[in-house]
Amino acid sequence: MFSLMDGFLKNDPISLQKDILHHVEYTVARSRFSFDDFEAYQALSHTIRDRLIERWHDTHIFFKRTKPKRLYFLSLEFLMGRSLSNSVINLGIQDQCAEALNQLGFEFEVVAEQEGDAALGNGGLARFSACQMDSLATLDYPAWGYGLRYEYGLFRQIIVDGFQHEQPDYWLNFGNPWEIARIHVTYEVKFYGTVEEVEMNGDKQKIWIPGETVEAVAYDNPIPGYGTRNTINLRLWAAKPSSKFDLEAYNTGDYINSVVNRQRAETISNVLYPDDRSHQGKELRLKQQYFFVSASLQDIMRRFKEEHTNFDELPEKVALHLNDTHPSLSIAEVMRMLVDEEHLNWNKAWDIVCKIFSFTTHTMVAEGLEKIPVDLLGSLLPRHLEILYEINHHFMEELKERIGLDYSRLSQMSIVEEGAVKSIRMANLSIVCSHTVNGVSKLHLETLKTKTFKDFYGLWPEKFQCKTNGVTQRRWIVVSNPSLRDLISKWLGTEAWIRDPDILSGLRDHVDNADFHLEWKMVKRINKMRLAEYIEAMSGVKVSLDAMFDVQVKRIHEYKRQLLNIFGIIHRYNCLKNMDKDSRRKVVPRVCIIGGKAAPGYEMAKKIIKLCHAVAEKINNDTDIGDLLKLVFIPDYNVSVAELVMPGADLSQHLSTAGNEASGTGNMKFLMNGCLLLATEDGSTVEIIEEIGADNLFLFGAKVDEVADLRENGVSNLAPLQNASPLKVPLQFVRILRMVRDGYFGHKDYFKTLCDSVEAANDYYLLGTDFMSYLEAQAAADKTFVNQEKWTRMSILSVAGSGRFSSDRTIQDYAESTWKINPCRCPL
Ligand code: 26Y
C-alpha cells in the first residue's frame, strides 16, 4: 500500500521534469510540446509550490502536536521580492531544477527572471521583515508572519525626461503561484458604530455595536527554511465584502447601491501607502491597520483557544511582536477581546497583555513617530478609543505615583497628545504596554535612551534593548551572487556558512593568498559585467569594466543625502575639466550609479532625482570626459534590482547625516558582497566598523555627538553663501551650489527650492559642513582602488566580517531574549 509517510513528491530531475510538464499541461493549460519561458516559470513555480505545501503541512502538524510557544510577527509591510530562486535554494534542489529545465530546453536563470517582485512594502523596514521570515524558518522557530495582501504593491517608478512618474503595481495580474487562497479561513472585521453600556450578571459592561462589517480572507505564503524541513507561514489578509450586505440590500431593495458598497469594502486592502515617513490622519490607512490587526488577532486567539482553555497561559504560549507602531492597535484590540468578549476584569487582562507584546521601532527622530487623530479613531473605532483612554488613565496614575506631579513630563509621556489636533501617540502606547522596546542598532538604542524616549528609559530602563538588524545571506549571497557563493565555499571547504554565518570569518585565513585574490577579482568582474549589461539596457550608457562602480541605492530622502553624492560628482567633473592630459591619465575612472524611489508627495526628493538626471546628461554627453566619469540613474529600484546591483558594486555610499539612519541594511548587503563602504558613522555602520576595523572602509563626516553643536554653532548660516568664510564653507561647495542655482544643468527655476533647502534652511543636513571630509574619503577610495591588492584585501575582510550582520543572529537574539521561544524542528 502507498505509505503516507513517504509523501508524494520526489526531487530528482526526472520527477521534477514530470511535474513541470504536468503543470504546463494542466495548470498553465499549454501544450507540453510548446511553451515559453514565462509558462516554464509558471509550471516550475507550481512544481515548487507543491513541495512547499507538503512541508508546510508537515511543519504545522508537528507544531500542533508539540504545542510550542509561538511567535506572531505583525507587520504592515513585507518586501519579499521574487520567490522561485530563494525557494529552490532553501529546498536544496537548485541543481536538480536546473537539470530538469535544461533537458526541456530552458535555462534556470532565464526562467527565474520571468517572475515579478512581490513589493508589499516601502523600504528598509519591509525588506528587513522579509529577511527575518527567512531566518525564522531556517532556525526552526515556531513563528507566523501576519500582513496585508495589497493588490497594488509599491508603485513602479518610471522616468520621463528625468522626472519620476508613478505607475500602479498590479502585481497579481498574471496570478501568484506562491500564495494559497484559504477561502474557508475568513473573519469578520467591524468598523464604526456606537458603544453601549449593558447590565451583565449584575455588572455594567461596555459593548460595541459596530456599523460596518468587512470580511478578511487569508492568503498563505509558505516560507521555507534552509537546511530544514520547516516551512512557516506568512498569512496575508485580503478584504472582501461581507455577506451581511446582501441581506441588507434584500431588505431595503437597494440592490445597486449594495453592490457598490460591497465594492468599497475591497478597497481596504487595495493599495500600499507609498510613504515611509509620515502620513497623517488618513482614514483608509487607519482602516487598513485595524483590518489587519483584527483579522490576525481573531486567528491567533482561535488557535490559542483550540489548544488551551485558560488565558493565564497566553504569555507562555503567545508572543506578539509589533513591527514598528503600525500594528499597535493590537494592544487595544487584545484588551477589548479579553475584557468585552472573554469577560476578564481589566487588571487581569492588562497584566496578560503586558506580558505578550514586544515592540521594535525603526525610527530615529521623534518627528517620525506615528500619531492618530482622536476624532478619526473615535469615529472608526469608538470602543478602542475608550480603551485607549482607560489605558492612559491607569498609566498616568501609575506615573504620578512614580514621578509626582511633574506636569511637563506627564504630558510628554501621555499616550494622548493634547494639541491643536488631539492624537494618540502610538509609540508611547507601544512602550507602555510592551515588555521589551528594541532599537535596531547600538547607536539607535542610545538615541532612544538619551533623546527620543528619554523619559520612558528613566522609568523602565530594563525594557530597552538593542537588536542590531541583519540580512539573510541566503538571498543576499547565495541567490544573488552564485559565483561568490561558490568561491567562498571552495576556500572555506564547506557550505556550512549558509546556515552558520560566523564561519565566514575563516576567509581571513586566506586574505593574503594570491590565488584567492585572483579568483576574488574574477568574481567581481563577472558581476560587474552583468551589471554593465543591465545599465546599458536600462539607460543606453555604455560603461567601462575597468572603472570603479560606485553605487548609492536606497529610498530618496534628504537625510540620506543623495544630494551630497551628486555634489561630489559635480566636483569630480569640475576637477576633470580643469585637468591637463597627464593628470587625467592618473585618474581612476568612475561609474556613479544612483537609484531609489521618492515618495510621490515628497517634492524635494523628486527634485533630487531630476537633478541627478540633469547632471548625468551633461557629464555623459561630454566627449571630452569619456569613460573617466559616468553617471547613471537606475530606474525602479526594487529587491530584484538590488540583487543585481550589490554583487557588481566596488564601492557603496551610505551618507546619512549622523544620527538619522536608525540602522540601514543596504550597508550589510554590500558588505556581504565584498563591496567597500564609504559612509558616515551612523546606524549600524558603527558596528560594521567594530567588526572589520576602520581601516577597511572609508569614513567621513560629523559624528553623531557633534551634529547638534554644528547645527547650532557651526556652518549654520550659509546664506548668503558667496560671503561665507572659505574656512567654514568650502569654496568648492559654494561654487557647485551656484552652478545648480544658475542653471548650469538647466531647469534653473525648478532647482531653486532644492538649493534653498541647503542655503536658507541653514543646511540642516550639514552638506556644507561634511563636504571636505566627504571629498577626502572619496580621494582615499580612489587611491586605494589603484592598489588592487589592498582593495581586494579590504573586500575579503568585509565579507569575512559580515557574519554578525546576518538576520540569523538578529533572530536568535530576539528569540532568546525577547520572545522566549525555542526551536521546534520538524523531523525529516
Ligand atoms: C507610518 C508610516 C508613514 C511609515 C511607513 C513606513 C513609517 C515608517 C516606515 C518605514 C520605516 C523604515 O523603513 N525604517 C527603516 O527601517 C530599517 C529597518 O530597521 C532601518 O534599517 C532603517 O535605518 C530605517 O530607516
Question: Using one digit for the tens of pLDDT, what is the confidence trace for 289-344?
Answer: 999 999 999 999 999 999 999 999 999 999 999 999 999 999 999 999 999 999 99
Ligand 1 centroid to 330 CA: how many Å?
19
Least reliable range by pLDDT among 26-40, 269-283, 466-480: 269-283
Q: Which of 51, 326, 554, 606 is catalytic?
A: 554
Ligand 1 centroid to 819 CA: how many Å?
22
* Predicted confidence (pLDDT) at residue 726 exceeds the cutoff of 80: no
* Predicted confidence (pLDDT) at residue 567 exceeds the cutoff of 70: yes
Crossing angle (nearest 10°) for helices 748-759 and 603-620: 120
For the domain covering 67-82+117-138+146-468+813-819, report its CATH number: 3.40.50.2000
Distance CA 212, CA 390 (A): 25
Pairing verdict, β 163-170 and 152-160: antiparallel
Burial category of 263 from C-beta neighbours within 10 Å (exposed 0-12, middle 13-18, buried 19 and up) = exposed
Among protein residues, the one whose CA lies closest to atom 8 of ligand 1: 276
Ligand 1 centroid to 204 CA: how many Å?
42
Ligand 1 centroid to 328 CA: how many Å?
15
**Which residues pair with residue 207 across a beta bridge?**
196
To the query of whether residue 554 is one of the catalytic residues in this protein, the response is: yes
Query: Which has more confidence, 809 or 365?
Result: 809
Among protein residues, the one whose CA lies closest to atom 4 of ligand 1: 276
Q: Which of 30, 362, 485, 610 is catalytic?
A: 362
Pairing verdict, β 231-241 and 212-224: antiparallel
Give the residue-averaged pLDDT of 770-787.
Answer: 98
pLDDT for the residue 292 = 98
pLDDT for the residue 716 = 42
Q: In what order do the strands lie in the sheet with 357-360?
A: 180-191, 212-224, 231-241, 143-148, 70-74, 318-323, 357-360, 436-439, 464-466
Give the residue-averaged pLDDT of 273-286.
Answer: 89
Query: Which has more confidence, 261 or 328?
Result: 328
Ligand 1 centroid to 714 CA: how many Å?
29
To the query of whether residue 577 is one of the catalytic residues in this protein, the response is: no
Nearest atom of ligand 1 to the alpha carbon of 662 = 23
Question: Is omega for the bond preceding 720 within 30 degrees of 0, making it cis?
Answer: yes
Mean pLDDT of the chain: 95
pLDDT for the residue 290 = 98
Crossing angle (nearest 10°) for helices 346-356 and 329-336: 140
Q: Which of 55, 555, 711, 804 is catalytic?
A: 555
Ligand 1 centroid to 125 CA: how many Å?
5
Give the residue-averaged pLDDT of 439-462.
Answer: 98
pLDDT for the residue 719 = 43
Distance CA 425, CA 496 (A): 45
Ligand 1 centroid to 365 CA: how many Å?
11
Q: What are the structural domain ranges in the chain? A: 1-66+83-116, 67-82+117-138+146-468+813-819, 511-701+771-796
pLDDT band at 250 (very low <50, low <70, confident <90, very high): low
Least reliable range by pLDDT among 3-7, 248-252, 469-473, 705-709: 248-252
pLDDT band at 721 (very low <50, low <70, confident <90, very high): very low
* Predicted confidence (pLDDT) at residue 423 exceeds the cutoff of 50: yes
List residues near ligand 1 (CB under 6 A): 122-125, 128, 275-279, 326, 362, 370, 440, 469, 661-665, 683
Nearest atom of ligand 1 to the alpha carbon of 664 = 21
Fold of 511-701+771-796: Rossmann fold (3.40.50)
pLDDT for the residue 263 = 80
Q: Which of 363, 447, 665, 810 is catalytic?
A: 665
Q: Which of 82, 560, 561, 597 is catalytic?
A: 560
pLDDT band at 264 (very low <50, low <70, confident <90, very high): confident
The H or E element that residue 741 is part of is helix 731-741
Q: What is the pLDDT of residues 495-545, one digit of tens each?
A: 999 999 999 999 999 999 999 999 999 999 999 999 999 999 999 999 999
pLDDT for the residue 378 = 98
pLDDT for the residue 632 = 98
Neighbours of 196 (CB within 10 A): 11
What Rg value do the Cα atoms of the chain yield, rounded?
28
Q: Which of 76, 79, 120, 125 to mutate to test the pocket of ligand 1 (most atoms within 8 A of CB)?
A: 125
Ligand 1 centroid to 726 CA: how many Å?
37
Q: Which of 273, 362, 440, 657 to mutate to test the pocket of ligand 1 (most atoms within 8 A of CB)?
A: 362
Among protein residues, the one whose CA lies closest to atom 21 of ligand 1: 664
Give the residue-averaged pLDDT of 39-57.
Answer: 98
To the query of whether residue 555 is one of the catalytic residues in this protein, the response is: yes
Render 274-337 in DSSP notation, one character per residue: --SS---S-HHHHHHHHHHHHHHHHHHHHHHHHH-S-GGGHHHHEEEEEESSTTTHHHHHHHHI
pLDDT band at 259 (very low <50, low <70, confident <90, very high): confident
Nearest atom of ligand 1 to the alpha carbon of 326 = 1
Q: What is the pLDDT of residues 571-608, one digit of tens each?
A: 999 999 999 999 999 999 999 999 999 999 999 999 99
pLDDT for the residue 2 = 67
Instruction: Note the maximum CA span of the chain.
Output: 95
Q: What is the pLDDT of residues 113-145, one digit of tens each?
A: 999 999 999 999 999 999 999 999 999 999 999
* Predicted confidence (pLDDT) at residue 771 exceeds the cutoff of 70: yes
To the query of whether residue 747 is one of the catalytic residues in this protein, the response is: no
Give the residue-averaged pLDDT of 238-255.
Answer: 73
Nearest atom of ligand 1 to the alpha carbon of 469 = 19
Q: Which of 324, 447, 669 to mutate to test the pocket of ligand 1 (most atoms within 8 A of CB)?
A: 324
Nearest atom of ligand 1 to the alpha carbon of 121 = 6
What are the residue ranges of helices labelled H in 175-282? 244-252, 255-266
Nearest atom of ligand 1 to the alpha carbon of 128 = 18
Q: What are phi and psi of 218, to 5 degrees?
A: -85, 135
Among protein residues, the one whose CA lies closest to atom 18 of ligand 1: 125
Q: Which value does ipTM take for this structure?
A: 0.99
Ligand 1 centroid to 323 CA: how many Å?
10
To the query of whether residue 753 is one of the catalytic residues in this protein, the response is: no
Give the residue-averaged pLDDT of 804-824.
Answer: 98
Place of cell 507602555: 432
Q: Which of 287, 524, 654, 669 is catalytic?
A: 669
Ligand 1 centroid to 101 CA: how many Å?
39
Among protein residues, the one whose CA lies closest to atom 10 of ligand 1: 276
pLDDT band at 266 (very low <50, low <70, confident <90, very high): confident
- Could you check whether 67-82+117-138+146-468+813-819 and 511-701+771-796 share the same CATH topology? yes
- Specify the long-range contacts of residues 706-711, CB closer than 8 Å, at least 24 apart: 706/658, 707/657, 707/658, 707/659, 707/766, 710/766, 710/769, 711/762, 711/764, 711/766
Nearest atom of ligand 1 to the alpha carbon of 370 = 1
pTM of the model: 0.97
